[in-house]
Amino acid sequence: MQLPYNPGDVRRIDELLNNHWPDAACELQARDPFEFLVAVICSAQTSDQRVNQVMAVLQEHLCGLPAYAAISIPDLSALLSRLPLYRQKARAISECARLISELHGGELPRDPHALRQLPGVGAKTAAVVLGNRLGVPAIAVDSHVARCSQRLGLSRSTQATSIELDLCRRFPQDRWVQLCHQLIRLGRAHCRPKAPRCSSCPLRRVCPANGVNDAR
């Protein structure tokens, strides 16, 4: 598929993202990789701030994967009750703890396929965990990453899998993880879904969608 950007434009986008969000990183708070997986599962349909409030509660009661494998689902649900879908999340977390303990010796697998076999772990969750806690380069496509990639001309696709492949082709591996956090920052601050703030966007000079539905 012909994409609208040449490598020079990608380099300029990369420079601007690095200039404006040099410290962009995951904001979920967790003490170990399993707790990070718990936080990412909890983050579906809610904010990082809300998840961090709930993680603080979890950290008061539970420490390490064995504690999550031992707690009952009703008790875990009660601890998660400030989250949307908390019963489903509690079931997924409990089952993850059991399976990781039984099948992977208590360690999160670094293999993307094995991670995605766990309940509640889709492609995006697996990529977030791999990239941010397991040292495996990965691109996690959420709604911000998808929208910003489309508007910046980095991908023409609306499918997360294809957007991920387009970004993987265009950016070096060592940029993948932070690139996602930078696109999320861009999406929250400027490139909003319905009324993008193009006039204040630091990428406006390289963006083919500059001015389209600009909220000003």
Distance, in Å, from the CA atom of 106 to the CA atom of 101, rounded to the nearest integer, reads 4
Report, in Å, the least distance between residue 151 CB and ligand SF4: 4
Min dist. Cβ of residue 152 to ligand SF4 (A): 5
- Cβ burial of 109 (10 Å; 0-12, 13-18, 19+) is buried
- Pick one of 190, 193, 194, 195: the residue that binds ligand SF4 (CB under 6 A): 190
Asked if residue 181 binds ligand SF4 (CB under 6 A), the reply is no
Site mask for ligand SF4 (CB under 6 A), range 121-150, x = bound = ---------------------------x--
Asked if 152 touches ligand SF4 (CB under 6 A), the answer is yes
Among 13, 136, 210, 216, binds ligand SF4 (CB under 6 A): 210
Asked if residue 183 binds ligand SF4 (CB under 6 A), the reply is no
Q: What is the DSSP secondary-structure string of 9-52?
A: HHHHHHHHHHHH-TT-------SSHHHHHHHHHHTTTS-HHHHH
194 in catalytic set? no
Q: Minimal CA–CA distance to 204: which of 164, 146, 143, 151?
A: 151
Q: Other CB atoms closer than 10 Å to residue 66's CB: what's the count?
A: 13
> Distance between alpha carbon 106 and the CA centroid of its chain, in Å?
23
Looking at the Cβ atoms of 109 and 196, the one nearer to ligand SF4 is 196
Query: Is residue 12 near ligand SF4 by the rule CB under 6 A?
Result: no
Residue 214: active-site member? no
By CB under 6 A, residue 185 contacts ligand SF4? no
Give me 199's structure tokens: 């006039």
